[in-house]
Structure 1
């Protein structure tokens, strides 16, 4: 790989000032990646449409994360514990920001915060209600694979189809189902069934996409090379 001097592209273009404005198209591209990383489901999207993308996503999510952490620390052992209902609070606070373009300077914090809330909630709920640790870890592994696959695809400009996010229920759907299952005393069974479902859904769809791309039917762009060329 050729060496690219700071401020000069690989094509030998004139140096670009460090404080040069980022093109609107590039901002939109990075924002759309962050929206994909959120992994919103149909319920969050419905709330987002109500605000028409006007609600910044970060601050409400920070509030949701802090309150959820406090509730989880307070305890989730009882089936009617207030912490069990944390997904409703998170959805009401974070859902309306789902349609925002995520163009803020700190909006890159939104996806990792959402993952911390989702994974932390599901793990704490599972451990507190008798779900075997291997099952909890396996369930989180399947979700982590889906999210990693989404990140890697978008870096290659391969966008997951919308139906994948709908079929995957979104972060809010998974948390709400876990909450209802806990109230009904069926959390181990529900996590096992959902784990198998998500493994088949995300695994088969991912393999199909990458195989199709590898045979030349998709479009793959090495974004890392592009980023080096533009640095």
Structure 2
């Protein structure tokens, strides 16, 4: 008697189309209104990775130049330089082979800037951690949500000020000696905004009929 092999009842989820992966990368950037306006100037022609790498190096250098000075001007220059270097590529389709590196570098710039600035101006460690934790939750939620085909609304990124808006708020607050207050307000406001919107979106989602996607299925092959 011949025994036929048992075939799997479900096929593996197909890899997302390049266009979908590109849209995810643009969502992962977390650009705010100011950055989006800069992106329109180049109409998507500027490749994002070179400017992002230069921005990361420049922000790090400016923070080193500022040193221990609590209200040094380079602290304000850092977000401005980052915006000028990264903003013009906001409208780029992000379909390049290495464009997936752009969002994590941008997260490193934002998180690193907020952390270094906070510790330099003696903001309490729990408050710095709270702000970074809120941002990390928002970015993780964005990643997981897009992989479940639940795209965040555009107003969420605008209301969240974008990475550039949050850095500018911190820079100006630091220059005028109110960084602890700014971090507390940002952590509270963004925590409520991102938390409530996220819970409301997942509550409305039809999980039974939605598309479930393996988080590791997204290998970049293009």
User: What is the TM-score with the length of structure 1 in the denominator?
Assistant: 0.85
Q: Distance in 1 between matches of 2:73 and 2:44?
A: 33
- Decide which of 111, 117, 142 is 2:109's aligned counterpart: 117
- Decide which of 159, 178, 185 is 1:186's aligned counterpart: 178
- 8 Å contact from structure 2 (residues 42, 89) kept in 1: yes
Deviations 1:64-87 (A, max 9, x none): 101111222332533124133200
| Number of aligned residues | 210
Alignment of 1:60-79 (within 5 A): 60-74=51-65, 75=67, 77-79=69-71
- 8 Å contact from structure 2 (residues 70, 174) kept in 1: no
Per-residue deviation, 1:101: 0.4
Partner of residue 43, structure 1: 34
Alignment of 1:15-94 (within 5 A): 26-74=17-65, 75=67, 77-94=69-86
Residue 225 and residue 56 in structure 1: after superposition, are their counterparts in 2 closer, same or farther (change >3 A)? closer
Per-residue deviation, 1:223: 2.2
Partner of residue 3, structure 2: none
Alignment of 1:160-199 (within 5 A): 160-199=152-191
Per-residue deviation, 1:44: 0.2
Partner of residue 142, structure 2: 150
RMSD: 2.4
- 8 Å contact from structure 1 (residues 31, 102) kept in 2: yes
Q: Distance in 2 between matches of 1:35 and 1:183?
A: 31
Partner of residue 140, structure 1: 132
Residue 124 and residue 225 in structure 1: after superposition, are their counterparts in 2 closer, same or farther (change >3 A)? closer
Residue 33 and residue 73 in structure 1: after superposition, are their counterparts in 2 closer, same or farther (change >3 A)? same
Per-residue deviation, 1:100: 0.3
- 8 Å contact from structure 2 (residues 75, 171) kept in 1: no
Residue 87 and residue 222 in structure 1: after superposition, are their counterparts in 2 closer, same or farther (change >3 A)? same
1:221 aligns with 2:211: yes
Deviations 1:20-59 (A, max 9, x none): xx9xx81111000000000000000000001100001000
Partner of residue 11, structure 2: 10
1:103 aligns with 2:95: yes
User: What is the TM-score with the length of structure 2 in the denominator?
Assistant: 0.88
Q: Distance in 1 between matches of 2:68 and 2:78?
A: 10
Q: Distance in 1 between matches of 2:210 and 2:71?
A: 47
Per-residue deviation, 1:3: 5.9
- 8 Å contact from structure 2 (residues 147, 215) kept in 1: no
Q: Distance in 2 between matches of 1:132 and 1:54?
A: 42
